[in-house]
Chains A and B, each alone.
Chain A
Amino acid sequence: MGAPNRGSRGEWLVALPPLAYLVLLFALPSALMVLASFRVAGEFGGLAPLLGADGHPNLTFEGYARLFASPIYLELFLRSLLYAAATTALCLVAGYPLAMLIARSSARWRDLLLLLVILPFWTNFLIRVYAWMIILGPSGWMSRLVNFFAAPLGLGPVTLMFSPFAVILVLVYVHLPFMVLPLYANLEKHDPALIDAAQDLGAGAWARFRHVTWPLSLPGVFAGSALVFIPAFGIFAVPDLVGGTSGNMVGNLIRQQFLEARDWPFGSVLSIVLTVVALALTGLAAVAARPRRAGLDPAARAVAGQGA
């Protein structure tokens, strides 16, 4: 495609530098991490020598056994899953009307509204977390508002910071644009004739959404959910800053294993299980969200068929 050389040697010359870089600084470190998850921790942190004193390699499943045998670690994984799932669901609820509004706006408004959605996403991640630390802090206005109403009801001072509530709220805040953009990209392509047809056939607003818009938007819902779920599941800065001890997630444990406990093998085990679980769940969701024509109502199928 217009590269300096059309021959295969030229193609390789173009592909080789990025390939070499990504192999060296992504594939190799990742492979080392998989290997490290089966190795033994060194006496002073890091890794013990790969070959033991007797010449046999020091490899073990101990790290994985430790993870799956301990209710504490499993609970931490479950809690992280729960937070990430709640975040995804809330982003969907908050993002869907927004994406629909943008998709239905006139071209002039659409660019402006899109820009308004992306703008917070371009501001530094830590600044966005910090903003909520101000609002949720004990003397912040949200805490004062909540306590203003809670006190007459006989509820003690409610603390919003350092709680699962704070973690999920901030996770929703930092990930919302990831949900809105793919949803918008999908909704924008819908043929308005489908909605009109459903209306002509007597479908009310809810029925039109339930049987036409929603099923057609499932690929967008899936894409947005994956973009929210994966980073939210592996996050550590948000629970670290606003979660306190009750809002810890797997990411915090990974950080601790690498930087404090210096137990690299177990840290690697946690990182790999985190990644596998995130990708497996995303894969499952992809299968579940695949548009299934056969699964639609006969009426909706007829309408969708018309538009296709």
Chain B
Amino acid sequence: MGGRRVPAWMWIASAIAFLFLYLPLVVVVLFSFNDSRLNATWVGFTTSWYGKLFGDERMLAAAWNSLLIAVVASLASTVLGTMAGFALSRGRPRILGFLVFAPIAMPEILMGVALLMFYVLLNMTLGLVSITLSHIAFCVSYVAIVVRARLAGMDESLVEAARDCGASPPLAFRHVTLPLILPGIVAGALMAFTLSIDDFVITFFTAGATASTLPLQIYSMVKVAATPEVNAVSTLMLALTLLLITAAARVAPGILRINQ
């Protein structure tokens, strides 16, 4: 349907929608440089909120936890999810398909409270370990779906050709299948990393009283009394997201495309 004449009303409606999407983010970034405790009127330019942020030990600890959890969770879920993607592409076992899609189809809060009960019944101490285990559980599905989509688009005759040329199955996998589906695996890993570092709901229920992540820390600050320090950390996270996306687009062009 590309390249067709677009009526004016569609441009206007879309412009309003984009304004709606971006204006709030601009406000957040702008007020992170505002020399006032209140996010109300522009007083003057300052970078003091960033200085304050880097002196905030609880915030730094939370950021470190988030990073640690996201790295471990995305690595583990990429391995498990890739295996699940292979299994799904063969359609066996059937139950795996259900277990992969069900967590995505259900309200997130259900998984959060179910895991909370599960850990408490097991007498597990809630903390970084319980958060990481939970993150792996919901990330596996997303990785599996991305890898399966990649496998579905792969030309199987290439693997057969390698086998005909005398490659053993592991060799064919290592030199043909893996390079072909690698963009899918990388995309899945990036997705898992983003989902983990952004997760609030499941982390909220499985974190216990002591462990904190960046989203949990932001939540407690926003809930009680938000200062522009929240704006500063938000701006940095926005910048990090932009950086990651740019890097991803460089490493694997086409990774951002929704439809293959």
| Interfacial chain B residues near A287, Cβ < 8 Å | none
Q: Determine if B165 is an interface residue (Cβ-Cβ < 8 Å).
A: no
- Are A254 and B109 touching (Cβ within 8 A)? yes
Query: Which of A18, A101, A267, A272 meets B14, CB within 8 Å?
Result: A101
**Nearest chain B CB to A15 CB, angstrom units:** 4
**Nearest chain B CB to A120 CB, angstrom units:** 5
| Interfacial chain A residues near B9, Cβ < 8 Å | 97
**Separation of A146 and B16 alpha carbons in the complex (Å):** 19
- Are A241 and B87 touching (Cβ within 8 A)? no
| Interfacial chain A residues near B136, Cβ < 8 Å | 21, 25
Binds A, one of B44-52, B55-63, B110-118: B110-118
**A279 (CB) vs chain B CBs: closest residue:** B105
Q: Determine if A173 is an interface residue (Cβ-Cβ < 8 Å).
A: yes
**Separation of A119 and B24 alpha carbons in the complex (Å):** 13
Q: Determine if A203 is an interface residue (Cβ-Cβ < 8 Å).
A: no
Say yes or no: A236-B96 contact (C-beta < 8 A), given A25-B136, A111-B257, A131-B24.
Answer: no
- Are B109 and A176 touching (Cβ within 8 A)? no
**Separation of A22 and B106 alpha carbons in the complex (Å):** 14
- Are A101 and B99 touching (Cβ within 8 A)? no
| Interfacial chain A residues near B107, Cβ < 8 Å | 230-231, 233-235, 251, 274-275, 278
**Separation of A258 and B158 alpha carbons in the complex (Å):** 53
- Are B115 and A25 touching (Cβ within 8 A)? yes
- Are B3 and A106 touching (Cβ within 8 A)? yes
- Are A125 and B134 touching (Cβ within 8 A)? no
**Nearest chain A CB to B202 CB, angstrom units:** 11
**A129 (CB) vs chain B CBs: closest residue:** B222
| Interfacial chain B residues near A19, Cβ < 8 Å | 84, 87, 93, 95-96, 99
**Separation of A133 and B75 alpha carbons in the complex (Å):** 35
| Interfacial chain B residues near A246, Cβ < 8 Å | none
Q: Determine if B4 is an interface residue (Cβ-Cβ < 8 Å).
A: yes
**Separation of A258 and B205 alpha carbons in the complex (Å):** 9
**Separation of A37 and B2 alpha carbons in the complex (Å):** 52
Binds B, one of A68-76, A135-143, A289-297: A135-143
Q: Determine if A190 is an interface residue (Cβ-Cβ < 8 Å).
A: yes
- Are B109 and A271 touching (Cβ within 8 A)? yes
Query: Which of A2, A32, A233, A254 meets B172, CB within 8 Å?
Result: A2
- Are B110 and A275 touching (Cβ within 8 A)? yes
**Separation of A205 and B9 alpha carbons in the complex (Å):** 12
Query: Which of B92, B169, B205, B257 meets A6, CB within 8 Å?
Result: B169
- Are A94 and B20 touching (Cβ within 8 A)? yes
Q: Determine if A48 is an interface residue (Cβ-Cβ < 8 Å).
A: no
| Interfacial chain B residues near A272, Cβ < 8 Å | 110
Q: Determine if A185 is an interface residue (Cβ-Cβ < 8 Å).
A: yes
A sample of 13 inter-chain contacts (CB < 8 A) reads A1-B89, A1-B90, A2-B176, A4-B170, A15-B83, A17-B79, A22-B137, A95-B17, A97-B10, A127-B234, A188-B2, A235-B109, A279-B106
The 7 closest A-B pairs by CB, nearest first: A234-B107, A131-B24, A2-B177, A97-B13, A18-B84, A15-B87, A139-B40
